[in-house]
Amino acid sequence: MRSYLHKLSAFLFYLLGSSFFAAYLLHFNHLYGPWPQWWMSVADLPLILIAMLFGGTSLYVSVIKPGKKSAIASLVIGLPLTALFTFLVMLNFWAQISPRLGY
């Protein structure tokens, strides 16, 4: 399962990263109007999620011996990544959240 998840996250990471790079080039060259900028504003969180999933599974595969499973290693890797992703989601939506909180 972890090998499949690692390969799937690698494919999605390269696919989303390439589309993000292409959107940046299109936006930089003022092509296709507002759509590249829209894509970069919409695809940032999925790209971060896939990047963290790819990095977490890469670290897990490199730390654990083949054929073994470790719940402790998955917790040690997964909890900081989950906390970091939650923090990045909060930063992404902070402009919408802060007026409601009174900041």
Domain boundaries, the chain: 2-101
pTM here? 0.84
What pLDDT, on the 0 to 100 scale, is given for residue 27? 94
Distance (Å) of CA 20 to CA 10, 14, 25, 26: 15, 10, 9, 10
Average pLDDT over residues 8-14: 95
Supply the DSSP string of 29-86, one letter for each residue. Answer: TT-STTHHHHHHHHSHHHHHHHHHHHHHHHHHHHHSPTT---HHHHHHHHHHHHHHHH
Q: Kindly report the average pLDDT of the chain as a whole number.
A: 91
What pLDDT, on the 0 to 100 scale, is given for residue 103? 64
The pLDDT of residue 101 is above 80 = no
Tell me: the pLDDT tens digits for 40-77?
Answer: 999 999 999 999 999 999 999 999 888 888 899 999 99
